[in-house]
Amino acid sequence: MPLEERTSFLNLLPKVDRLFGEKKIDIFVVSDIKELTKIVVKNCELVEELIGFGKEIHRLEHFHNFRLDPSTMKMVHLDQAPAGASTLTKPDAYEIKIK
């Protein structure tokens, strides 16, 4: 992705975050939720790290309090999530950067 596209997307994040907060967006997961991470070598050790899609899911879960409803594959706000809905990512798996 060209730098100008990435920059413009990053500039949209505050607006997107506002819409999530207002619950005005429907989010359907169309990718394989089993593929949120990759294995990388850090300091001579194998480490599991979130990929881009995993980081997006992480932001939805831990910044906006969304959970996946497996029956619809829709990310729903915690107050609308099925009983016992858990997160797909760990809270400390990625540092959420807020502008």
Q: Is residue 14 part of a domain?
A: no
Q: Is residue 18 part of a domain?
A: no
Query: For the chain, what is the domain count?
Result: 1
First-residue to last-residue Cα distance in the chain:
21
Rounded average pLDDT over 76-87: 88
Model confidence pLDDT, tens digit, residues 34-56: 888 999 998 999 989 998 888 88
pTM for the model stands at 0.74
Would you call 35 helix, strand, or coil by DSSP? coil
Task: Please count the CA atoms within 13 angstroms of the CA of 10 that sit on its side-chain side.
Answer: 11
Q: Is residue 84 part of a domain?
A: yes
| Domain around 76 | 27-93
Rounded average pLDDT over 1-9: 51
Write phi, then psi, for 91 (nearest 5 degrees). Answer: -55, -35
Q: Is residue 49 part of a domain?
A: yes
Q: How many CB atoms lie within 10 A of CB 55?
A: 17
